[in-house]
Chains A and B, each alone.
Chain A
Amino acid sequence: MKRTKEQKEQKLILSNKDKPLLKRMYKYRYMYFMYLPVFLIFLVFNYIPMVGILISFTKYTPFTKVPQWVGLQNFKQLFVSDIFWRSVKNTLIISSVNIVLSITTCVGLALLIDEIKTVWFRKVVQSILYIPHFISWVVVASIFTMILSPQEGFINGILQAFGQDPIYFLADSDWWRVCLWIIERWKGIGWGTIIYIAALTAVDGALHEAATIDGANRVQRIWHITLPSIAPTILVVFIMDIAKILNIFEPVWVLQNDAVLAVSDVIGTYVYRIGITNAQYGVSAAAGLFKSVISVVLVTIVNNASRKIKGEGILS
């Protein structure tokens, strides 16, 4: 009986798996050799520092020679703090909206850029859109503080020209998050399109041609062909964004001020204040560990949901 191609491949995989690990490693030694630097980098910079998790169970200040084991004391201190829970709530609100805005605006812009057929113009547009990504957050904050200034800012100038009172956007609790989201999009939208533009180049042109012949208009083609084609990419980006949902720090830190702490204090700024400014490394590490655990849980939930709905996820 003649074996099919699939059966042959299956046998090859099984036969490889049957071999002892050392033999397999020897066989693929060059592969392992190439992987070694990556492994070492991960080991040194990602895994060994994880020992620092233990700090969250100790009383640890800059002057501590031997950290004193305090069990869950730091977590207890954290969980009874209203300010900590406020920061958790703010983090979830700011980041969730940010993720939704990020995906919708980046996909939308990528679709628009994909429609540009003149190559040089497309490149110019892309280059201009990427520039804000390379500006540091400190500079971005300075620029927008000037633009949004209630005294001489451009936006308030327009409002006043229409007879409106100036708004102190960055010190107004109702406006601060909106400003942050807009500024985040201004800075990140161009860079965020890269991965989607790459995905769009892989969409089969024949599908579009066939749909056009069948009478589909541009919106219908985007809805029924383009978006489903790049859905796996959107899913990957979404899951990776979920993993980072609690990590927001820099934009908040540079735009935050006393008047808007109630709506702007996030876990990152809380940890910085407790850990770096206040030098309570134990409590700060506990907050960091809490953040990591929640991130892992969220990623697992989203990945499982994705597998149930779409039949695929990015984690095994």
Chain B
Amino acid sequence: MKSKKLLGLALAASMVFSMCSCGSGDSAGSTTAATTKAASNNATTAAATTEAPTEKVVEKPEKITWWTHSGLNEEDYVKEWDAAFSELSGVTLEHTQVSNNEYYELLEIAFASGTEPNVFDLSADTKMAYYASQGGIADLTDLVKNSGIYDKVDPGVWESVSVDGRIYGIPGEMPSGAITYVRQDWLDKLGRKVPTNYDEFLDMLRAFKTEIPECKIPLTVPGLTSAQNLPEFYQDATPDLTIVNGQWVDGMAQDNMASALQRLQDAYKEGLIDMEAITNTTSACRDKWYAGEVGVFNYWAGKWGNTLQVNLQANNPNAYITGIDAIKETYYRYAGFNAYCISGRLSEKEVEQVFTYFLQVAFDGAEGQDLFYCGVEGLHRTTDANGNITYNNMKSKADSTFQSVWATPWLAVVPFDDPAKAPQPAEMVTITLDTLKVTGTYKPTMPVSETYNMVVADWTSVKQETIANIVMGKTTVEEGLANYKKQADTLGVAQILKEMNQ
């Protein structure tokens, strides 16, 4: 026994010395050693090494830089969280919170100026393929497969964060999607049931408009170009690139788009859709909803379902809402996965270090994952004697509890070792997520197209302008779409589709 311990110590010591003599890369000054299985403190590492001497040892980097654009507000103990993560991983975490609205612009400027973070998240459906093609993100396939994370996760998830069969990120949570919320108290007042088809949906909006005095806006929406936010009108159409019969096509050029735009135009003209849809921001729509002026609002399922209910009731105590099932002509749409990626500019060794001491800690199913999803004990959460975790009240909004830290525990992609002990969702959260699940459809990952990257901004403007002009009645559907086709041809949409379908 004694000789075994001595052997273990000798092995650990030799590894420490060998690591020290290896030198270091940009952010990887070697200080100690750890196994890939448990990236924690030195004592644990040494013990783990003793028990499993064959496991690969990864040097600790000097620091890891990480960008976030959502999650905790700065005043909600972010510094304390960073310190706790640094302590747990044994690596200094340099965490920067950036504006959510400008996230990709700032990230790309950071890449252009060589100041990109080691870890950042990307939309898997719109950005991942482009970043991968440009060498902006590292191929994590082997690291994910060797870490044990791979086997804990549904293979379909890995497909969603893969480009050409290679995994480029780990999603923090299953994507959410938008469902349609309706004022149930108004339906009750009118003696109506929730609509199940488009005609009933329109009748409901008309009834809200004419028979509910406090209803100023039957349906509000921020902008008119998102099929996700206007599923009842777009139905099976979408202005985005989409797949038909296995081929990528321009959604705007499909036959179903004309009828979708006609429905939107008619409803807008009738005053059923918010007149200010074009200039509405998302927060403006939420404010109108909270004020109790709106009958229907399509918004995120999950946490937001609960928030929409609670904030509406704060101003209108008798109000209550329901997230309706998608009407028969349409379906709800999930947003794409958001995956944590590692900068492709790091060396292979540095990528492995960052993976080991950041992603593997955050998705370890245990202590690291508790910290990542539930926060710091005593600040963000409280753990009872049985190990059950509940969220505490926020510092920034004392009358509200946290509902997540950097990702939502009940949507975690990599499961907790004991999911029952993680914070549980409110009833409204579960109900709305279940509603979404019934018809929810995932977005396909877009392939890379050089031409698309060149013209996407102009193309998006042309689509937005076309839809706005048609819906507001400045042009007919036929004229608007014919004009769109001309502009799309000039921009080279045919070439984009050719490149995507290769």
* Docked-complex contact A278 and B456, CB < 8 angstroms: yes
| Stretch among A96-104, A208-216, A259-267 lining the B interface | A259-267
Q: Mark B90-118, 1 if CB is under 8 A from A, else 0.
A: 00000000000000110011011000000
Would you give the 0/1 interface string for A276-292, flagging 1 where the beta carbon is closer than 8 Å to chain B? 11111101000000000
B279 interfacial by beta-carbon distance below 8 Å: yes
**Interface readout for A31-69 with B: 1 if CB under 8 Å, 0 if not?**
000000000000000000000000000001111100000
Please name the residue on chain B nearest to A55 by beta carbon: B112
Cβ–Cβ contact A274 & B135, under 8 A:
no
B108 to chain A, nearest CB (A): 4
Assess whether A63 is in contact with B134, with CB atoms less than 8 Å apart. yes
Does A151 count as interface, using CB distance less than 8 angstroms?
yes
Contacts of B454 in A (CB 8 A): 77, 278, 280, 283
Total A residues in contact with B, Cβ cutoff 8 Å: 33
A265–B472 CB distance below 8 A: no
Q: List 15 A-B contacts (CB under 8 A).
A: A62-B108, A62-B136, A83-B458, A150-B275, A151-B275, A168-B472, A170-B279, A258-B465, A258-B468, A259-B278, A259-B468, A273-B461, A274-B457, A279-B105, A280-B457
Q: Name, among A173, A265, A278, the residue most crowded by chain B CB atoms within 10 Å (CB to CB).
A: A278
Interface status of B464 (Cβ within 8 A of chain A): yes
Closest 9 CB pairs of A and B: A63-B134, A62-B111, A278-B457, A258-B464, A258-B468, A62-B108, A259-B468, A273-B457, A62-B112
> Which A residues are CB-close (under 8 A) to B490?
82
Assess the B134–A265 pair: CB atoms within 8 A.
Answer: no
B216 at the interface (CB under 8 A from A): yes
User: What would 9 more interface pairs be, CB under 8 Å, given A151-B216, A151-B217?
Assistant: A62-B136, A63-B136, A83-B461, A170-B279, A259-B469, A276-B108, A276-B109, A279-B108, A281-B112
Chain B residue at minimal CB-CB distance from A277: B457
Closest chain B residue to A281, Cβ basis = B112
In the complex, which residues of chain B have a beta carbon less than 8 angstroms from the beta carbon of A265?
461
Distance in Å from the Cβ of B97 to the closest Cβ of chain A? Answer: 20
- Cβ distance B278 to chain A, nearest Cβ, rounded Å: 5
Q: Find the B residue at minimum CB distance from A153.
A: B276
**Smallest CB-CB separation from A170: which chain B residue?**
B279
A262 to B278, CA, bound (A): 15
B221 at the interface (CB under 8 A from A): no
Q: A273-B461, A276-B109 are in contact. Are A259 and B472 (CB under 8 A)?
A: yes
Contact status A261-B276, CB under 8 Å: no
Counting contact residues on chain B (CB < 8 A from A), the size range is 35 or more
Chain B residues, CB < 8 A from A173: 474
Contact code string A249-276 (vs B, CB < 8 Å = 1, else 0): 0000000011101100100000001101
Residues of A within 8 A of B (CB): 60-64, 77, 81-83, 145, 149-151, 166, 168, 170-171, 173, 257-259, 261-262, 265, 273-274, 276-281, 283
Q: A258-B223, A258-B468, A281-B112 are in contact. Are A151 and B135 (CB under 8 A)?
A: no
Residue B46 is within 8 A (CB to CB) of chain A in the complex: no
The answer to whether A149 and B276 touch across the interface, beta carbons within 8 angstroms, is yes
- Distance of A279 Cα from B111 Cα, bound (Å): 11
Q: Shortest beta-carbon distance, B67 to chain A, in Å?
A: 14
Shortest beta-carbon distance from B450 to chain A in Å:
10
C-alpha gap A62/B345 in the complex (Å)? 12
B12 within 8 A of A: no
Answer whether residue B467 sits at the interface, using C-beta atoms and an 8 A cutoff. Answer: yes
Q: Give the contacting residue for B134; candidates A61, A166, A257; CB below 8 A.
A: A61
B224 within 8 A of A: yes
Choose among A62, A82, A150, A277 the residue that contacts B276 (Cβ–Cβ < 8 A): A150
Collect the chain A residues with CB atoms within 8 Å of residue B136's CB.
62-63
* Residues of chain A within 8 A of B487, CB atoms compared: 82
Bound Cα distance from A63 to B138, whole angstroms:
13
B225 within 8 A of A: yes
CB neighbours of B458 from chain A (8 A):
81, 83, 273-274
Residues of A within 8 A of B472 (CB): 168, 171, 259
Assess the A261–B105 pair: CB atoms within 8 A.
no
CB distance from B323 to the nearest CB of A (A): 26
In the assembled complex, the CB of A149 is this many whole angstroms from the nearest CB of chain B, namely 6
Question: Once bound together, how far apart are the Cα atoms of A77 and B131, in whole Å?
Answer: 23
Select from chain B the residue with minimum beta-carbon distance to A259: B468
Contact with A along B450-482 (1 / 0, CB 8 A): 000110111001101101110010100000000
Chain B residues whose C-beta falls within 8 Å of the C-beta of A81 in the assembled complex = 458
Q: How far is the CA of A64 from the CA of B134 in the complex (A)?
A: 8
**A171 with B105: CB separation less than 8 A:** no
